[in-house]
Structure 1
Amino acid sequence: MTDIATANANANATSGYSLKDLIGESTLRALATTLAETAPGFQRKRFLAVATDGLEPLSIMQRVHRVAQALDAGLPGSFATKLDAVIAAAPRAGGAFMNMGLCDFVASYGQHDPVASLRALRQLTAHGTAEFAIRPFLREDLAGTLATMSDWTADADEHVRRLASEGCRPRLPWSFRLDALVADPAPVRELLHALRADDSLYVRRSVANHLNDITKDHPDWVYAHVAEWDLDDARSAWIVKHALRSRIKQGDARALKLIGASDGAQAVVEQLAITPSRVRLGGEVELAFSLRSTAQTAQRLVVDYAIHYVKKNGRASPKVFKLKTVELAPGASTEIRITRAMRDFTTRTHHAGTHAVEVLVNGQRLAQGSFELLRP
Structure 2
Amino acid sequence: METFKERYSEHFLQRFVEIVHEHTDDFDERLFHEQVYRNDWQELAFKQRIRRISEALTAALPLPYEQAVQLLMQIAPQCRGVEYLFFPDYVELNGLDHVELSMKALEVLTVYSSAEFAVRPFILQYPIGMLRQMNIWAQDDNEHVRRLASEGFRPRLPWSFQLKPFIADPEPTLAVLEQLKRDSSLYVRKSVANHLNDIAKDHPERIAEIARQWYGQHLYTDWIVKHGCRTLLKQDHPQVMKLFGYVASETVTISNLQIGAQTVPIGGEIDISFILHNEEDIPQNVRIDYEMQFMKANGQQAPKRFRWVSRDFAPGQHEMRKKHSFKLITTRKYYAGQHHIHLYVNGVQVGEVSFEVTDAR
1:117 aligns with 102
Given that 2:177 and 2:192 are in contact with CA atoms closer than 8 Å, whether structure 1 keeps it comes out as yes
Tell me the secondary structure at the aligned position of residue 163 of structure 1: helix
What per-residue deviation string (whole Å, max 9, x for no partner) do you get for residues 64-98 of structure 1? 111110111111210011101222232333631x3
Q: Cα gap change, 1:368/1:39 in structure 2, threshold over 3 Å: closer, same or farther?
A: farther
What per-residue deviation string (whole Å, max 9, x for no partner) do you get for residues 242-288 of structure 1? 11111111211111122232256753221112123322333222211
What per-residue deviation string (whole Å, max 9, x for no partner) do you get for residues 32-62 of structure 1? 2221222331111111111111211111111
2:290 aligns with 305
Residue correspondence of structure 1 range 285-296 to structure 2 within 5 A: 285-293=270-278
Tell me the secondary structure at the aligned position of residue 43 of structure 2: coil
Is 2:200 the partner of 1:200?
no
Given that 1:23 and 1:64 are in contact with CA atoms closer than 8 Å, whether structure 2 keeps it comes out as no
Is 2:93 the partner of 1:93?
no
Shift of 1:296: 8.9
Q: Cα gap change, 1:297/1:185 in structure 2, threshold over 3 Å: closer, same or farther?
A: same
Is 2:15 the partner of 1:30?
yes
Q: Structure 1 stretch 226-235 or stretch 365-374: which is displaced more?
A: 226-235
What per-residue deviation string (whole Å, max 9, x for no partner) do you get for residues 214-254 of structure 1? 11111222233333325242211111111111111121111
Residue correspondence of structure 1 range 1-376 to structure 2 within 5 A: 14=1, 17-54=2-39, 55-93=41-79, 95-96=81-82, 98-229=83-214, 231-262=216-247, 267-293=252-278, 299-328=284-313, 332-374=316-358, 375-376=360-361
Equivalent residue letter for 1:75: L
Alpha-carbon distance in 2 for matches of 1:348, 1:64? 25
Q: Cα gap change, 1:95/1:87 in structure 2, threshold over 3 Å: closer, same or farther?
A: same
* Number of residues of Structure 1 aligned to a counterpart in Structure 2: 359
Tell me the secondary structure at the aligned position of residue 339 of structure 2: strand
Alpha-carbon distance in 2 for matches of 1:335, 1:157? 45
Tell me the secondary structure at the aligned position of residue 354 of structure 1: strand
Alpha-carbon distance in 2 for matches of 1:104, 1:265? 55
Percent of aligned positions that are identical: 35
Given that 2:248 and 2:348 are in contact with CA atoms closer than 8 Å, whether structure 1 keeps it comes out as no
Q: Cα gap change, 1:173/1:266 in structure 2, threshold over 3 Å: closer, same or farther?
A: farther
Q: Cα gap change, 1:255/1:211 in structure 2, threshold over 3 Å: closer, same or farther?
A: same
Q: Structure 1 stretch 308-317 or stretch 232-241: which is displaced more?
A: 308-317
Tell me the secondary structure at the aligned position of residue 63 of structure 2: coil
Equivalent residue letter for 1:319: K
Equivalent residue letter for 1:163: L
What per-residue deviation string (whole Å, max 9, x for no partner) do you get for residues 307-363 of structure 1? 12222223221111111113246x643222222222111111222222211111222
Unmatched segments (≥5 aa) in structure 2 = none
RMSD: 2.0
Tell me the secondary structure at the aligned position of residue 228 of structure 1: helix
1:11 aligns with none
Shift of 1:119: 1.1
Alpha-carbon distance in 2 for matches of 1:158, 1:143? 23
Given that 2:80 and 2:112 are in contact with CA atoms closer than 8 Å, whether structure 1 keeps it comes out as no
Alpha-carbon distance in 2 for matches of 1:222, 1:187? 14
Q: Structure 1 stretch 287-296 or stretch 198-207: which is displaced more?
A: 287-296
Alpha-carbon distance in 1 for matches of 2:349, 2:236? 10
- What TM-score does the superposition give when structure 2 sets the normalisation length? 0.93
Unmatched segments (≥5 aa) in structure 1 = 1-13
Shift of 1:183: 0.6
Q: Structure 1 stretch 295-304 or stretch 231-240: which is displaced more?
A: 295-304
Alpha-carbon distance in 2 for matches of 1:213, 1:266? 35
Alpha-carbon distance in 2 for matches of 1:163, 1:268? 45
Alpha-carbon distance in 2 for matches of 1:264, 1:147? 48
